Structure 1
Amino acid sequence: MELGYKRRDGVVLDLGCEGPDGYVGWSGGARPHYVVSEGWATPGYLPTPVSPGTWKVLVGLHRVPPAGVGYRLTVRRATPAEVAAERDAQPEAPPVPERGPRRKLPDVDGMRWLAADFHAHTVHSDGALGIEELAALAVSRGLDALAVTDHNTTSHHAYLPLVGERYGIRLIPGQEVTTDRGHANALGDIGFVDFRNPGAQWQRDVEARGGVLSVNHPLATDCCWRMALDHPTAVAEVWHSSWHALPVLHNWGGPLAWWLSWDRETVPIGGSDFHAYGNDALPGAPTTWVLTDGDDVLGGVAAGRTAVSADPTGPVLLRLGDELLALGSDGLLLSGFDAGRRPVVGERAVLGGAGGPWWLEDDQMRVLAVCG
């Protein structure tokens, strides 16, 4: 299947597929064609038998000018050689890299802190790297866990266990449920969440299946959150890489203000939203620290045991009951909702911290770490 149109004046058409037995996949505006067969499909699509019945090409009107745009769809049967050529053109798996330094944080009641990133993309949507390449990059950055959250597809999920085992990292199945009214990450091995439904239905589906739904970059430019929900999500991407993308945003208080007004009990997580080298922050910028019981990363998130720092090695603020532990934070200021500011003295400082949220900032009010 191939979609052709004049890519000018900001026009973007998205592309997807639905077969006789249901949804097959999505590539959005990332590529103009796809191949589907029983043995293999273009990343973003599920391998599916080409069975008799009604097949639908899904065309999303992402950016269309008032005058409209003409497009052409070409659907034809691919030869086995063409399918093999598409498959062979996919990124090759790199060797397992040397692991980046693993930061040692204090265990709590037999649980340990793991370094995670809850937002990243691959060639299964609009990312530039294969799953293996992304895993290798995350390991080299010192991460213990990474959620792979391609847009409106779960085609990457089947590959994650073996890739994670090979590269020594927990790859968390995710889907960035994506519309022009907002994005949310559906985290967990919970199946496809249909982006064509209202946001409140996403929430109900994820909760019913035992997953975690996180509103993404709620203050982003053209994809900020503008959807009604039954109630505020229990988890949110409070810290997105765009927060520190430009010098002018280093002391931008918008994400904190949104968090405090959304729900102060919301569990904060962070996401790099990595797509490609030079295009986004690298995995782990920011880093979400999750206090885990064994390997249950999402269980730690659901229980609210998280903290977020700018990167794996920067200042970090951890909750220990009604106290806060600030590490690598000498000279920074501890601040909280309606709580003023207190100086942090020493590389390891224990401070009172009932309630929350809390964050660490410098003398320019640039936020460097947060916790609930």
Structure 2
Amino acid sequence: MRLDGVWWLEDRLRQQLRPVPFEVPAGTSLIQVRLDYDRSAGAVLDLGCAGPEGFRGWSGGARQEFEVGPGRATPGYLPGEILPGVWHVWLGLHRVPPEGVRYSLEITFSDQTTKVARDLGYHHVRLLERPPARELPTVDGARWYAGDLHAHTEHSDGTLSIRALAELAATVGLDFLAVTDHNTISHYPYLEKQSARSGVTLIPGQEVTTDLGHANVWGSPEWIDFRRPASQWMKQAEKAGALFSVNHPLAGDCAWRHHLTTQPSIAEVWHWSWFDRTWGWPLAWIRRHPAAIIPVGGSDFHEPDGTPASLGEPITWVLAEECTTAALLAGIAAGHTAISATRTGPLVLRCGDQVTTIDADGLILVRPDETRVVVRADSSGRQSFPASQSGMYRLETWRNEVMALCA
């Protein structure tokens, strides 16, 4: 089956996601889809798929072709039985210039399964010895675990396999890592095995991604439908017992512009795009909300050359009973979080009725009411202060650069 045409800017404004129906004949074992279009003027078309039973995959603008079969599928897509009947290719009109974009969609059926051909540019990551854990205060038997809550793999627009990503997380000393590929859960079946292999707890996540903003959902066993209003993402996550976080609310063209009927309880305040931390806009954003928002951080990692950010920069620390997905998500939901620029850098932690600073001598502790005190650490590199105020504490340099914060 082949379809040729032109998408116009008016088409995008009327309906951004375009389902293209096609009939799958009985006996089909493999569906192959290829999208070609003219990118010369900056056009971007997204790609996805749905079967008679619902969602079967999404690769956005990261790929122009995919295969779906009973035993395996292109990363980002779900393998499984190929039911006869009406299927849909999802075409997302992400960027359409005024002069339009010509496209060609080709769909091929086969009654024989083949290996999925792909060139994903794998990077070899050697598993090294894990760096020693930091000696941090415990709170009623719970301890602080270091992790990154935002990372991508080959299942969306990242370059690493899940195995390579988990190995990299171990080498940089992470205890946990949320794998949050865009608009898909095709990576879920591989997380448990690679968690056991690497010693890093891989949290199942998905970055619900649209033109008006992105959100992370951690721990949901089901796919979150990005076609619905953002408030329904929150409700679906809550119903599934998962956590919902607004991602990089102030970050260029992917800043958060969705309307929500209720305030989110968690936000990715510290994102790689906060590259100049003397800028106060993330702090201003979080303070404008009438109720406290639990701050988290995420590198938004895509590839190992540090573009746009290195894995684990920033680090989110979670106080939890154990390093399991359930315990970590419970710690986040309870507001037991802290963020630091790096795993070994200055740190501020809320520990019961005290706030403890670590490796922060000469920095400034800023209380929730914006009163300030200079940190003068003892021989252990620590100093504790009464945690008499609710809200976010942070560490700054004398030049007002934020170095760490805690809920």
Q: Same fold (TM over 0.5)?
A: yes
**C-alpha RMSD of matched pairs (Å):** 1.7
Instruction: Note if 1:62 corresponds to 2:94.
Output: yes
Cα displacement (A) at 1:278:
3.2
Residue matched to 1:232: 263
User: In terms of mean alpha carbon deviation, does 84-93 or 112-121 score higher?
Assistant: 84-93
Residue matched to 1:14: 46
Contact 1:287 1:310 in 2 (8 A): yes
Identity score, percent: 50
Instruction: Note if 1:331 corresponds to 2:362.
Output: yes
User: In terms of mean alpha carbon deviation, does 223-232 or 53-62 score higher?
Assistant: 223-232
Instruction: Note if 1:27 corresponds to 2:59.
Output: yes
Residue matched to 1:118: 149
Which residue among 168, 174, 181 is the counterpart of 1:143? Answer: 174
Partner-residue secondary structure (3-state), 2:196: helix
Contact 1:93 1:130 in 2 (8 A): no
Partners of 1:328 and 1:336 lie apart in 2 by 18
Which residue among 342, 359, 366 is the counterpart of 2:394? Answer: 359
Partners of 2:69 and 2:121 lie apart in 1 by 16
Query: What amino acid sits opposite 1:149 in the alignment?
Result: T
Partners of 2:136 and 2:54 lie apart in 1 by 46
Residue matched to 2:223: 192
Partners of 2:329 and 2:43 lie apart in 1 by 38
Residue matched to 1:252: 279
Query: What amino acid sits opposite 1:235 in the alignment?
Result: I
Query: What amino acid sits opposite 1:366 in the alignment?
Result: E
Which residue among 286, 289, 302 is the counterpart of 2:314? Answer: 286
Partner-residue secondary structure (3-state), 1:77: strand
Q: After superposition, what is the alpha-carbon deviation per residue over 1:62-117, rounded to whole angstroms, capped at 9, x for unaligned?
A: 11112221111000025757x31527978488554311232121111010110011
Q: Number of aligned pairs?
A: 367
Q: How does 1:1-372 map to 2 (within 5 A)?
A: 1-78=33-110, 80=112, 83-86=114-117, 91=122, 96-244=127-275, 249-263=276-290, 265-276=292-303, 277-295=305-323, 296-346=327-377, 347-353=381-387, 354-372=389-407
Contact 1:203 1:213 in 2 (8 A): yes
Q: 1:283 to 1:7 in 2, by over 3 A?
A: same
Contact 2:36 2:103 in 1 (8 A): yes
Partners of 1:207 and 1:224 lie apart in 2 by 23
Partners of 1:66 and 1:192 lie apart in 2 by 34
Partners of 2:344 and 2:215 lie apart in 1 by 27
In structure 1, runs of 5+ residues without a counterpart are: none
Contact 1:13 1:62 in 2 (8 A): yes
Partner-residue secondary structure (3-state), 2:385: strand
- Give the structure-2-normalised TM-score: 0.87
User: In terms of mean alpha carbon deviation, does 91-100 or 142-151 score higher?
Assistant: 91-100
Residue matched to 2:24: none
Q: After superposition, what is the alpha-carbon deviation per residue over 1:166-220, rounded to whole angstroms, capped at 9, x for unaligned?
A: 0111000000000000100010043100000000000100011110000000001
Q: 1:78 to 1:132 in 2, by over 3 A?
A: farther
Cα displacement (A) at 1:338:
3.2
Partner-residue secondary structure (3-state), 2:274: helix
Query: What amino acid sits opposite 2:55 in the alignment?
Result: Y
